[in-house]
């Protein structure tokens, strides 16, 4: 079995250098950004899984994939970079990042906007999803990284 590599989630918009505990670009924790190159493949997979899970959850709150194959076909035809091992909701976000302002009929791309957000532009939805993704990552950091004492056994 071949080990699939995990590419860095970095998008070149790092905010950890200015003191953020969670990068506003890739949503990794500051120590993950710093230590990425020293992590094992398994450690990278765990981080990748957390990030893709959070992103997928945020996208699902606002959009619904109606035709996965059509979405994949459009990504390939439009030459949009996406991670094939992530789910289709992460793929939609890749599509929105590449061209939210150019999509007029979402059904032609295999997804639809939730009724609550039909009056919101795809550009604004993309920003809302990204902000929700950041908030979720920050909350996870606050819960599990800032409070390590919660996980110490009594008497340690």
SS3 8: coil
Residue 69 confidence (pLDDT): 98
Q: Provide mean pLDDT across the span 103-115.
A: 98
The gap from C-alpha 2 to its chain's centroid, in whole angstroms, comes to 25
Q: Provide mean pLDDT across the span 10-23.
A: 88
Average pLDDT of the chain, as a whole number: 92
Residue 137 — pLDDT band, cuts 50, 70, 90?
very high
CA atoms within 13 A on the CB side of 79: 0
pLDDT, tens digit, for every residue of 41-80? 999 999 999 999 999 999 999 999 999 999 999 999 999 9
Q: CB neighbours of 95 closer than 8 A, spacing ≥ 6?
A: 71, 74, 75, 78, 80, 82, 103, 109
Positive or negative: CA dihedral 122, 123, 124, 126: positive
Separation CA 104–CA 106 (nearest Å): 6
Q: CB neighbours of 129 closer than 8 A, spacing ≥ 6?
A: 55, 58, 59, 61, 62, 93, 96
Residue 13 confidence (pLDDT): 87
Residue 46 confidence (pLDDT): 96
Residue 149 — pLDDT band, cuts 50, 70, 90?
low
Q: Provide mean pLDDT across the span 9-31.
A: 90
Q: Strand locations in 67-137, DSSP E?
A: 111-113
- Per-domain boundaries in the chain: 40-145
Q: Provide mean pLDDT across the span 7-19.
A: 88
């Amino acid at each position: 079995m071949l080990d699939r590599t995990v590419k860095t989630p970095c998008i070149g918009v790092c905010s950890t250098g200015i003191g953020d505990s969670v990068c506003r670009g890739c949503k990794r924790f500051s120590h993950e950004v710093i230590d990425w190159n020293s992590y094992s493949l398994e450690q990278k997979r765990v981080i990748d899984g957390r990030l893709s899970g959070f992103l997928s959850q945020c996208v699902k709150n606002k959009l619904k994939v109606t035709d996965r194959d059509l979405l994949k076909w459009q990504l390939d035809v439009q030459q949009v970079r996406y991670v094939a091992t992530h789910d289709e909701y992460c793929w939609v976000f890749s599509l929105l990042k590449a061209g939210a302002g150019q999509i007029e009929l979402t059904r032609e791309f295999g997804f639809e906007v939730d009724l609550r957000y039909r009056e919101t532009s795809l550009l604004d939805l993309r920003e809302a999803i990204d902000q929700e993704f950041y908030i979720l990552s920050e909350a996870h950091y606050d819960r599990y990284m800032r409070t390590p004492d919660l996980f110490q056994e009594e008497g340690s």
